[in-house]
Chain A
């Protein structure tokens, strides 16, 4: 069916390439604006000199170093806690024949339908009651238990033969040892897949951090970028373009490294 050597086939391929290029246009325009002097941003002259000034200026125009640190800490904290809690929960659901595991699992799955971002109202009050408003922990706390992670790990743990565990028990291994030496290594691809989805989700999350933070010291990148590019600042497109690209760069690099896993994990993420 793929007669790429025929003329029609070639035309179609050309259209696809052009479409892909057109699709990237918003990013390419930002890139063009960011690497040329601010004075040339309106003209799109081909002979405009290249410069990295905009990136340097943008970096110093707002506390981006702090924002990067905040987002990195936040994402790491969330993903690590999510994976630990989900591992424990999934293991319990699969291998301990608990009386109410059905009810508990249903309670967990409910989170897939009611997403936490819809419940900002009461979560704001709860975090306030804990005195954690305007802290990184306050941003992270509502995300610590991920139904999606529990669901994925439960699926995987279920497929691991019980015989492996029984053999280990006979050998006198502890539950913790079994989890660490059998379950976690075998579920490695799932851990990577979930981590990628979770990292990109929390790197991009905006509304909840916006609501719960007030100060520079805890503000993540998304909120910082939004303040930086708010129209009141006097529009400096070159700087905004540079800042925008800076904030997305880490995810793009991560994507280029883990392209295959990313696409596979987003496929799995579909069940959310």
Chain B
């Protein structure tokens, strides 16, 4: 009798204590997330609607004025344009190279793992170290690129010091860093392709090019999409190598979005402008994320 009576009233406290236990377990992680991700995102949007606090003028609501001011800020427009150009050029190059690398190391090849490591290692190194490595190529007097030009009696170029070349020099670095990283995803996808397809194609006498076009490439489509989306997100967050290699110069020719936000905030201390720009960046990232969820099967990745 006691068990029957005891079990009914105990069920509710047990339920609530389990709930409480669960929430307590999740509380630390959640509070850090709220404090350093959700709160700053919302606060940035809020602050982008207010004026800067100058000596005697208290902060006041200015609506979209900060955004309007961005439209008149030539350096912002240039940074945004540079960034779009950056994405449009580096992403196709990095992804194509990644695919070629994956196909290369997917062959039966002596020293296969060495080749794979050679391609992958750049994506492990700190961006600052990579910037230093590439300065050996770009520096005007001692740089290898200019030595190469000299071999053909061509005049030396100040690679990072000319507005016409600086951005492209940074792009080369990005492609070098990212191609090997994306190779890994292609390699994984290639290895999941049923080997029987390969055998069947061989029996039919299909050429390697035909097999790639008709079998491998279509099967790699989801990977390509996935890599493209990740590459786009990365392209709009690039900042380290700009700081290390050109500092946005010369004449803002290599200024990118996050770099200009960093400079506006921490060199010019113009917080409302920096907040408005951060919101622009968040909108771009959110748009890419939205594409990610509509194009990629959501449940396959986040269930």
Contacts and interface: CB of A to CB of B under 8 A. Distances in A.
A240 B176 CA distance: 20
B275 interface: yes
A162 interface: no
B128 interface: yes
A232 to B, nearest CB: 12
B40 A123 contact: yes
B205 to A, nearest CB: 11
Interface in A38-97: 41-42, 85-86, 88-89, 91-93, 96-97
A16 B107 contact: yes
B114 A226 contact: no
B68 interface: no
Contacts of B31: 145
B36 to A, nearest CB: 4
B29 A89 contact: yes
B122 A23 contact: yes
Contacts of A248: 124-126, 129
B26 A88 contact: yes
Contacts of A116: 36-37
B171 interface: no
B67 interface: no
Interface stretch (B57-65, B78-86, B151-159, B277-285): B277-285
A107 B136 contact: no
Nearest to B23: A98
Interface stretch (B4-12, B69-77, B88-96, B180-188): B180-188
B65 to A, nearest CB: 18
A111 B229 CA distance: 16
B168 interface: no
A255 B134 CA distance: 22
Nearest to B271: A121
A263 B181 CA distance: 9
Given A33-B136, A113-B289, A255-B124, A13 B262 contact: no
A204 B285 contact: no
Contacts of B301: 271
A182 interface: no
Interface string B91-108: 000000000000011011
B117 A259 contact: yes
Q: Which of A89, A93, A115, A122 has the most CB of B within 10 A?
A: A122
Contacts of B125: 204, 248, 251
Interface in A1-55: 1-2, 4, 12-13, 16-17, 19-21, 23-24, 26-27, 29-30, 33, 41-42
Q: How large is the interface on B (under 10, 10 to 19, 20 to 34, 35 or more residues)?
A: 35 or more
B111 interface: yes
B142 A237 contact: yes
Interface string A239-272: 0110110011001100100010011001100111
A30 B125 CA distance: 13
Nearest to A71: B126
B131 to A, nearest CB: 8
A207 B136 CA distance: 23
Q: How large is the interface on A (under 10, 10 to 19, 20 to 34, 35 or more residues)?
A: 35 or more
A222 B131 CA distance: 11
A49 B40 CA distance: 55
A175 interface: yes
A121 B26 contact: no
Given A29-B144, A113-B286, A270-B185, A121 B278 contact: yes
A85 B185 CA distance: 29
B29 A150 contact: yes
B22 interface: yes
B43 A13 contact: no
Nearest to B37: A111
A13 B110 contact: yes
B120 A263 contact: yes
A122 B188 contact: no
Interface of B: 18-19, 21-23, 25-26, 28-41, 43-44, 47, 104-105, 107-111, 113-130, 132-137, 139, 142, 144, 176, 180-181, 184-185, 188, 198, 201-202, 208, 211, 226, 230, 233, 237, 239-240, 243-244, 258, 261-262, 265-266, 271, 274-275, 278, 281-282, 285-286, 289, 301-302
Q: Which 9 pairs, one residue from A and one from B, show the smallest C-beta to C-beta distance?
A: A96-B22, A122-B40, A145-B32, A92-B25, A204-B126, A20-B118, A142-B36, A89-B29, A119-B40
24 contacts: A1-B198, A4-B109, A13-B107, A20-B119, A23-B118, A27-B133, A88-B25, A108-B29, A108-B30, A115-B233, A117-B237, A117-B258, A118-B258, A126-B36, A143-B36, A145-B33, A175-B21, A207-B258, A225-B126, A226-B128, A244-B129, A263-B120, A266-B184, A267-B185
